[in-house]
Amino acid sequence: MDRGIHTYFSHRFTNGIRLIHRQNHSEVAHFGLLVHTGTRDEKQEEHGLAHFMEHMFFKGTRKRSAYQIISRLEDVGGEVNAYTTKEETALYASFLKQDYRRAIELIQDIFLHSIFPEKERGKEAEVILSEIQGYEDSPSELIFDHAEELLFPNHSIGRNILGTEASLSRFRNGIMEKFRTENYATDEIVLSSVGNVPFERIRKVAENYFGTIPQKARIRKRLLPDTNAAKEVIEKRNTYQKHCIMIGKAYALPDLRRLQLYLLNNILGGPGMNSRLNLALRERRGFSYSAESHYAPYADTGAMMIYFSSDPERFNQSLQVTREEIRKLRTRLISDYRMAHARKQLIGQLAISRENNEHLMLTSAKSYLVFDRVDSMDTIQKKLEEISAGDLREIANEILHPDNLNTLIFE
């Protein structure tokens, strides 16, 4: 890699753990650990276990109490956090650059030496149960979980991350230790860093804490999920508004068409207020406050989701307008002007997101975990320039064809 400020430096330890670092000029630094294990790696009886373990990581290690874990970085103005997704678990911290060793040692202690104290298990289960109840009260969030269950039936990747009251009551130390042993492989761990410290210093500290961990391979193997298509399901929720989501199978992370689908998604219902769905449903007609689309790629599959909510009396019109916007993408070529605008918009969004150094640290970890590289903005720009209007129409016909989309409605 180039040796200069704002470039990435990387190293692979003998046990397979990888380290990536980007140096900058900030007084605040960020360090995280990402392991390629999430809720899709759970057995049926373990539903919610990966997320539960993320909570329990902070409840005590062999040498620290929960209070000592929290205080280790907060005493110097820093903070430590975590998250769980369908395929990853992350532990990460933000701190002043002089506290790098303190942060790296803490992340190592939490990840390797958590004891999952039984006295904390019941309390944390109650906390997560409150999360579950909060989702049940939020149909605009809950419908996404139910949609993935519809797309990926009877597979862990389709289940929600939080688990259920019944599954939470089953978790004990032995179950958590077994899950960690069978799923946390050293060649599926990435350490990611962004901060104003030379790479060689980061490498030495990280190797001291992570380089001597015995090499270990994943024991459990992931199974490719089956998918549903063209199903329509209506759930009675007694909500004030009606909520609708269309969901279909999409490209996996290694697929070379992934960036093309990201661009198509951005045009259809991405975060911009000028997305086609937002313009058609909200700005022009006032039918919906929320209209959006999302592309979620996974290691071996993916999901494309199109969502809107509206008052019951405007629901059928909103559904018709949404289907018409999809039909246009499948039948018409986007003009050269609109294609140029769409490319600039997406590259601008990516560039702005990289200004957030914590976000940059985490997304770099994910990219390095999956692809063993982090593409520069110039590389992404060049790839976007190669995408044609014909490419997007072809992808729209494959991914957004009515025969490939399921429809879920909350009413």
Which residues pair with residue 297 across a beta bridge? Answer: 302
pLDDT band of residue 1 (cuts 50, 70, 90) is very low
pLDDT band of residue 173 (cuts 50, 70, 90) is confident
Which residues 6+ apart lie within 8 Å of 77 measured at CB? 95, 96
Over residues 196-237, the pLDDT tens digits come to 999 999 999 999 999 999 999 999 999 999 999 999 999 999
Question: Which domains does the chain possess?
Answer: 8-210 (3.30.830.10), 232-410 (3.30.830.10)
Backbone angles phi, psi at 302, to 5 degrees: -170, 170
Which of these, 369, 185, 345, lies nearest to 266 by C-alpha position?
345
pLDDT band of residue 3 (cuts 50, 70, 90) is very low
Report the pLDDT value the prediction gives residue 6, as an integer from 0 to 100. 59
Over residues 311-322, the pLDDT tens digits come to 999 999 999 999
Residue 312 and residue 239: Cα distance in Å, rounded? 10
Q: Which amino acid is at 335?
A: S
